[in-house]
Structure 1
Amino acid sequence: MQTHTAQQVAHALRNQPSWRDKGLKDFRDTYYVAESAPPVIAGSNSQEAAIEVMRMALGLTKGGNISVKTPIEYVLIQDASLAHTVEKRSDQRERFASFVIPTLQRPTEIWNVKYDDESTRNRYIKLFSASRYDILVMVKINPDGGVFWNFMQRDRKGMNTLRIGDLVYRER
């Protein structure tokens, strides 16, 4: 086990099964996707403005939280966690805030992934039609339930590399 300080990042353990091991199709191949992507929001000039964009898109109040029902669990989204999601300003992740709720509620796949800090996280993957952007939402599994941890946009090739661990849900 590795211990991590607040500044260190936990990494997914190696040698977990992947989509290839499970005989799943490559996301780049013809893949039926029914849902259109939400609009991409304009990026913000500061972390404070980015947090406000996130609040608006997620329906959060300052200091509040919401619970989102997913196909496998309820996920808590806390206002206190938003600073973490937008701290890397070059990514401007707030642009994709409107993708988070649809990804949690109607994911394409959910993968349970083990990390080197002994945590597990559910990776919610959502593919959207007619969009350059697909989204991964990370949910950290705590003893009292899942908590929204982070999210990122990837192309289909990049999304394939994130399909590791135990596949716990797949849309029909």
Structure 2
Amino acid sequence: MGKSEAKGQPRWIDKGLPDVRDVPDSQRAEPPDILEQGATSEDALHILCAALGMPEDADRVSLASPIGPVAAMRDKLPHIVEKRKDGRERYANFAASTVIAPYEVWRVAYDDGSFRLAFIGLFAGKQQLLVVVDVEDGQVLWNMMNCDAKALNKHRHGTLIYSVRGDVAADVQEAPEAA
């Protein structure tokens, strides 16, 4: 059985932050193109890697983020696209944009004492994105999920370590090792 997010972490609402459903489109990123869905898991992985800027002969690519580089590693990506009905590769452009220019980044604690980073991507329109970054062996892209804004609010908990609003000072002082 895998690890789970620790219970009782402070949520966005506890910190007095705005509901992402109320953020006007003028403060959101322009949505990138939604890609075609791959017919197979192999096609989907190829689409995902290409959108992340990974050359076919490379095993990894580094994406610049406001909190430091995030590695996308070919051997860590197949589980993202394995559920073919979800077609997550269609949102790979959103993932790259979310890592490079997130709305927020949260340090989320897990029940085994570890943590991951939740990159929140806000886009004009209906589709939003969550990118999960594992920090066990550096900052490595671990997962991504497209959703609507209401569902995205559920992932805004833990310690806020980055915000486009610049309102993270108190949280960063609580967790200096995550800054």
- Give me the TM-score of the superposition, normalised by structure 2: 0.86
Q: Percent identity?
A: 38
State the alpha-carbon separation in 1 of the partners of residues 127 and 116 from structure 2: 22
Higher relative contact order (CA 8 A, sep 6+): 1
Name the aligned partner's letter for residue 111 of structure 2. D
Higher share in helix: 2
Q: Which amino acid aligns with 1:76?
A: A
Alpha-carbon distance in 2 for matches of 1:87, 1:116: 25
Higher strand content, 1 or 2 = 1
Question: For each residue in 1:76-108, what CA deviation from the matched residue of structure 2 results, as whole angstroms up to 9, or x when unmatched?
Answer: 110111211111222110000111111011100
Stretches of 4+ aligned residues off by more than 3 angstroms: none
1:1-172 correspondence runs (5 A): 8-31=1-24, 32-60=26-54, 61-129=56-124, 131-142=125-136, 144-172=137-165
User: Could you say what secondary structure the match of 2:77 adopts?
Assistant: helix
> 1:33-59 deviations in whole A, cap 9, x for unaligned?
242100111111210110111121112
| Structure 1 runs not aligned, ≥5 long | 1-7
C-alpha distance in 2, partners of 1:96/1:53? 10
| Number of aligned residue pairs | 163
Relative to the length of structure 1, the TM-score reads 0.89
- In structure 2, C-alpha distance between the alignment counterparts of 1:90 and 1:163, rounded to whole Å: 26
d(CA) in 2 for partners of 1:135, 1:48? 22
Instruction: Please report how far the alpha carbon of residue 147 of structure 1 lies from its aligned counterpart in structure 2 after TM superposition.
Output: 0.6
CA RMSD of aligned residues (A): 1.4
Q: C-alpha distance in 1, partners of 2:58/2:2?
A: 25
Mark the runs of 5 or more structure 2 residues left unpaired by the alignment. 166-179
Q: State the 1:119 CA deviation.
A: 2.2
